[in-house]
Structure 1
Amino acid sequence: MSSSSDNVIMASLDNALIQLNRYLAVFILLFGVIGNILNIFVLSQRKLRINTCAWLFLISSIVNIIALIFGLITRILSTWSLDVTATIGWTCKLRAFILFNSRTIAFWLITLASIDRCLLSSRHIYYRQMSTLQNAQRGFIVIVLISTIVFIHLVYCYDANQINSPLKCYGISTSCRLYSDLTFAFITVIIPLVLMSVFGLITISNVFQIKKRIYPAEKFDGKIIHKISFPTRKTDQQLLVMLCIQIILLGIFTVPLVIQRLYTTITMNAVKSALQNKIDNFLYNFLFLLYSIANGMPFYIYTLTGGSTFRNALFKLLFPNKQKIVG
Structure 2
Amino acid sequence: MYNISNTDLGEILEYMSMQINRYFSIFIFLFGTIGNILNCVVLSQPTLRVNPCAYLFLISSIANMISILFGLTTRILAGWNIDITDTNSLVCKFRAFIVFVSRTIAFWLIAFATIDRWFSSCSQYQRRQMSSLKNAQRGTIIIIILSILLYCQMIYCYEANMSSTPLPCYGKNVVCRFLTDLTYAIITILCPLLIMFIFGLITISNIRQTCTARLFKKKLIVLNGNNKNVLISKKSQQQRKKRIDRYLRHVLFIQIIFLSILTIPQAIEKFYTTLSVNATKSLLNITINKFIYNFVLLLTYLASGLPFYIYTLSGGSTFRVTLINSLQSILEKLTCR
Aligned to 1:43: 43
Offset at 1:306? 1.1
Aligned to 1:225: none
Structure 1 distance, partners of 2:174, 2:219, is 69
* Correspondence list, 1:153-164, <5 A: 153-164=153-164
Offset at 1:143? 0.6
Cα deviation per residue 1:6-52 (whole Å; 9 max; x = unaligned)? 11111111111110000000000000000000000011110101111
* Correspondence list, 1:233-244, <5 A: 233-244=242-253
**2:18–2:80 CA contact under 8 A, matched in 1:** no
* Correspondence list, 1:1-327, <5 A: 5-214=5-214, 218-219=219-220, 233-320=242-329
**2:177–2:274 CA contact under 8 A, matched in 1:** yes
Unaligned runs of 5+ in 1: 222-229, 322-327
Cα deviation per residue 1:194-213 (whole Å; 9 max; x = unaligned)? 00011111111111111100
Structure 1 distance, partners of 2:170, 2:329, is 48
Offset at 1:4? 7.9
Structure 2 distance, partners of 1:98, 1:292, is 14
- The verdict on how the C-alpha distance between 1:4 and 1:198 changes in structure 2, with shifts beyond 3 A counting, is closer
Aligned to 2:334: none
Deviates more, 1:271-280 or 1:106-115: 271-280
Structure 2 distance, partners of 1:18, 1:278, is 12
What's the TM-score once normalised by structure 2's chain length?
0.89
Structure 2 distance, partners of 1:28, 1:15, is 19
Structure 1 distance, partners of 2:63, 2:247, is 23
Cα deviation per residue 1:68-88 (whole Å; 9 max; x = unaligned)? 011110111122232111111
Which residue identity does 1:233 align to in structure 2? Answer: K
Aligned-partner SS, 1:113: helix
Aligned-partner SS, 1:163: coil
Offset at 1:157? 0.3
Which residue identity does 1:109 align to in structure 2? Answer: L
Cα deviation per residue 1:146-172 (whole Å; 9 max; x = unaligned)? 111111111000011101111111000
Identical residues among aligned pairs (%): 50
Aligned-partner SS, 1:213: helix
Aligned-partner SS, 1:269: coil
Which residue identity does 1:39 align to in structure 2? Answer: N
Structure 1 distance, partners of 2:121, 2:28, is 35
Offset at 1:319? 3.1
Matched positions, count: 313
Which residue identity does 2:219 align to in structure 1? Answer: E
**Greater fraction helix:** 2
Structure 1 distance, partners of 2:38, 2:204, is 29
